[in-house]
Amino acid sequence: MNIANWLHDTQRRAPQRPALFDGTRQVADYATFAAHVRQRAACLVDQHGVAAGDAVAVLMKNSCDYLELLYAIWWIGAVVVPINAKLHPAEAAWIAENAEAKLIFTDGGRVLSARDLPLRCKELDGHALPPTRGWPTLEHPVPRQASDLAWLFYTSGTTGRSKGVMLSHGNLVAMSLCYPIDVDPVSADDAAVYAAPMSHGAGLYNFIHVRCGARHVVPASHGFDAAELFGLATELGNVSLFAAPTMVKRMVEQARRQGYRGEGIKTIVYGGGPMYLADLREAVETFGPRLVQIYGQGESPMTISVLPRAVIADGQRVGWASLAASVGHAQSCVEIRILDTHHQPVPAGERGEIAVRGATVMHGYWRNPEATRQTLVDGWLLTGDIGFLDPAGYLTLTDRSKDVIITGGSNVYPREVEEVLAQHPEVFEVCVVGEPDAQWGESVVAFVVTRSAQPLDTAELSAWFLTRMASFKKPKKYLFRDELPKNSYGKILKTDLRQWLKEASIAAVR
Ligand code: AMP
């Protein structure tokens, strides 16, 4: 089934139901939403020659147009390649090229330079609604099989190379159906607010809200602003949103400043990175029983485990602290196992690599059979996360074996930052690690050995870095060393560097 059928069904049943909101202003009901989607779909086919199975990239900030574009692309059976709007244009261009995208939609249509734009790929303004006349419109979405590709999502790999995660219409349907069963029931009175990037998990929560005829709200700031969010919730009511733990922390701070207690918010789904217990306690004290945690990854989007609202809110329950520190139990359509290094299951309580099997698990990495073979083993997705299951099936994450740094909810892979810094003529050796950061969750720290053994001007180094990579990946700190600690194979010991940072921060507060 084509997942765009859900929009088709809802607009037939409830054409006048409010659909798209720019801030508190309604910009489309479901009939208008679907009409715009058909217009855009017709233009894709007739003016740009996009066919079923073709890839179309979207490099845009959150907007109502974003949702229309997604559905237009699916309506004709094509594949969406969502690209994080915070990426450097050169990184975005690399993704568009690797995905063999025919078109790339951007804010304004002039984001990529002619030099960056891949051959045979055209850049278009995603906000330009094509005229109705001229092109025949498709009344129904083009039929698709459950296994047909719908969402080609690029997640950075530790090898430094971005990989395209292939998610099918069937994956997206399964993910969406888990939401009302495991995370939160949805009704037509709900409002999904997109405070986190639509190119990532937050955007994927659109489907179940389309299916149920709910409202879709893009904050006027097109991003995350806690005070704005509270205003929207108070005015619109029944608001649900996805937020990274660092966003929840900022919401709590703002709520305390203005005496807000969660009025108008139905549910805050958090995940994507660890939430510290002290922060969770404060969030529950501030917002009451409004929080649900999910654990997922691009390869099984938003859908590995869930820590339900009732567990999080019940602070009096015996053993609450260990349950609240877990990521909950398996969602309905997946099984979870913990594997040893030979990929054999280990008993409850023992640590190992978290593996997942089920209807949300990706079909593999785009044009990368080697990475697919290493990650999908005997039908199980190896997540690269380390954790353990308790006897009741609650999963606790203990480490991220991939060393990913999660800063402000965005993933930064040390290797790709290292690759860039290593290109600097004065840099001899470099190693990047994450450091706990009260505001951002983690921040990027680069240990650098220079050729001259003299420190570099960090402002200059930062400026140089920003000509090559997105600013959220920029190291917040550069620490110059004479050498880096290594094991007997010559591998740099990141654990030693992290330990050094920890000791330095303890010494600093003494
Ligand atoms: P991504 O593929 O960008 O969504 O990143 C997925 C990774 O984020 C996972 O493999 C975990 O390491 C981490 N992650 C996701 N959800 C959680 C969570 N609830 N708690 C802790 N870490 C998480």
Among protein residues, the one with the nearest Cα to ligand 1's atom 15 is 272
Residue at 443 is within a domain: yes
Distance 118 CA to ligand 1 centre (A): 31
Query: Of all protein residues, whose CA lies closest to atom 9 belonging to ligand 1?
Result: 297
Which of 288, 283, 286 has its CA nearest to residue 313?
288
Q: Which mutation among 400, 402, 410, 473 tests ligand 1's pocket best, with the greatest number of atoms within 8 A of CB?
A: 400
Contact 494, 434 (CB under 8 A): no
Q: How far is the CA of 383 from the centre of ligand 1 (A)?
A: 9
Domain assignment present for 457? yes
Residue among 356, 397, 402, 412 to mutate when testing ligand 1 (max atoms within 8 A of CB)? 397
Question: Ligand 1 mean position to 158 CA, how many Å?
Answer: 14
Q: Which residues pair with 33 in a beta bridge?
A: none
Going by CA atoms, what residue is nearest to atom 5 of ligand 1? 297
Ligand 1 centroid from CA 357, angstroms = 17
Pocket-testing residue among 385, 405, 413, ligand 1, by greatest number of atoms within 8 A of Cβ: 385
Residue 472 lies in a domain: yes
> What six digits make up the tokens of 191?
């409002």
Q: Positive or negative CA dihedral for 240, 244, 249, 253? A: negative
Q: Give the end of a domain, one of 113, 134, 168.
A: 168
Classify residue 308 as exposed, middle or buried by CB count within 10 Å of its CB (0-12, 13-18, 19+): middle
CA of residue 52 to ligand 1 center, whole Å: 32
Look at residue 344 and tell me if it is in a domain: no
The whole-chain average pLDDT of the chain stands at 93
Give the nearest ligand 1 atom to 397 CA: 21
The confidence score (pLDDT) of residue 403 equals 79
Closest Cα to atom 10, ligand 1: which residue?
297
CA distances from 167 to 80, 82, 148, 149 (A): 10, 12, 8, 6
Q: How far is the CA of 296 from the centre of ligand 1 (A)?
A: 6
Low-confidence ranges of the chain (pLDDT < 70): 133-134, 156-161, 399-402, 487-491, 509-510
295 C-alpha vs ligand 1 centroid, how far in Å?
6
Domain limit, last residue, from 124, 141, 168: 168
Separation of CA 355 and ligand 1 centre (Å) = 13
How many Å apart are CA 510 and CA 506, to the nearest integer?
6
**Model pLDDT, residue 386:** 84
Helix (H, G, I), strand (E, B) or coil at 202: helix
For ligand 1, pick from 277, 295, 306, 375 the residue to mutate: most ligand atoms within 8 Å of CB: 295
Task: Compute the distance from residue 244 Cα to the ligand 1 centre, in Å.
Answer: 10
CA–centroid distance, 308 to ligand 1, in Å, is 17
Q: What is the pLDDT of residue 157?
A: 45
Q: Which atom of ligand 1 is nearest to the CA of 305?
A: 19
Q: What is the pLDDT of residue 308?
A: 98
User: Does any domain span residue 332?
Assistant: no
User: Which atom of ligand 1 has the smallest separation from the CA of 201?
Assistant: 4
| CA nearest ligand 1 atom 4, residue | 297
Closest ligand 1 atom to residue 304 Cα is: 16
Domains: count for the chain: 2
Containing structural domain, residue 484: 404-509
* Cα-based distances in Å from 313 to 31, 223, 260, 285, 286: 39, 28, 18, 9, 11
CATH number at residue 22: 3.40.50.980
Q: Which pLDDT does position 156 carry in this prediction? A: 62
Instruction: Give the Å distance between the CA of 162 and the centre of ligand 1.
Output: 17
Distance 451 CA to ligand 1 centre (A): 37
Whole-angstrom Cα distance, residue 46 to residue 51? 10
Residue 510 is encoded by which pair of tokens? 């003494």
Residue 193 within a domain: no
Final residue in a domain of this structure, among 119, 152, 168? 168
Inside any domain, residue 255: no
Q: Let me know: does 44 contact 72? Beta carbons within 8 Å.
A: yes
Ligand 1 site-directed mutation target among 86, 297, 401, 404, most atoms within 8 Å of CB:
297
User: 175-208 in b/e burial notation, b at 16+ Cβ within 10 A?
Assistant: bbbbbeebbbebeeebbbbbbbbbbbbbbbbbbb
pLDDT at 334 (0 to 100) = 98
Q: Is 78 part of any domain?
A: yes
Distance between Cα 68 and ligand 1 center (Å):
28
Instruction: Point out the ligand 1 atom lying closest to the alpha carbon of residue 327.
Output: 19
Whether residue 330 contacts residue 395, with contact meaning beta carbons closer than 8 Å, is answered with yes
Beta bridge partners of 338: 354
Angle between helices 30-46 and 64-75 (to 10 degrees): 60
Pocket test for ligand 1, best of 382, 404, 413 (most atoms within 8 A of CB): 404
Q: What CATH number has the domain bearing residue 476? A: 3.30.300.30
Distance 121 CA to ligand 1 centre (A): 32
Pocket of ligand 1 (CB under 6 A): 155, 271-274, 293, 295-298, 327, 383, 385, 397, 400, 411
